[in-house]
Amino acid sequence: MKRISLFASGSGSNVENIAAYFEQNKNVEIVSVLTNNINAGVIERCKRLGIPLIYLSSQALQTPGFIRDILLGQNLDLIVLAGYLKKIPDDLIEAFRQKIVNIHPALLPNYGGKGMYGMNVHRAVKEAGEQQSGISIHFVDEHYDNGDLIEQHAVQISETDTPEDIAQKVHLLEYEHFPKAIANLLDV
């Protein structure tokens, strides 16, 4: 049995998509979802899906070793950042080196780094006049959007596409490819 934990700060659409993908796979268990946002939509999704949720207060996030110790106790094979916006603590990265995976809504190394998430990315892509965007699935290291690339997938964008249109195209790529990449990493 492969055990994963998901981190999310927002609506939880990627969490739900990943849960649906693995729902019939008896070799994968979503042990927990962690969120730092008390108002996140992912909280209601987890209740509906029956997935244990852990809320990380600001104090918990600032307490050295707190998150690491919780996750070490869960005997995880992989940690998946599914729309999580906080920087991962260095002690957690060290404890789970090459076992923390993120998805970024652009083709890294372009449009990555602190503050480059969600619509900020799609607006920057539009303003730069790019002809394509996409997703980057990568391991997490000590720097934003810097870890080793696992895979990338691109989508064409037209000059008439709005940032919202780009976001929609990128979300479709996320929903299609992120669960498959997780399955490949878990070898299930």
Residues 173-178: what's their mean pLDDT? 97
What residue spans define the domains of the chain? Answer: 2-186
Element (H, E) at 17: helix 13-22
Residue-wise pLDDT tens digits, 46-84: 999 999 999 998 888 889 899 999 999 999 999 999 999
First-last CA distance in the chain: 9
By the 8 A CB rule, do 83 and 8 touch?
A: yes
- Which pLDDT score, from 0 to 100, does residue 5 have? 98
SS3 label, residue 144: coil
Q: Which of 104, 138, 153, 177 is catalytic?
A: 104
Phi-psi domain of 75 (left: phi exceeds 0; alpha: psi -120 through 50; beta: other): left
Contact between residue 53 and residue 33 where contact means Cβ atoms under 8 Å apart: yes
Residue indicated by tokens 């997703």: 135
The residues that bridge with 3 in the sheet, in sequence order, are 29
Pick the CATH number of 2-186 from 3.40.50.170, 2.40.50.100, 3.40.1390.10, 3.40.50.1860: 3.40.50.170
- Active site (annotated) includes residue 122: no
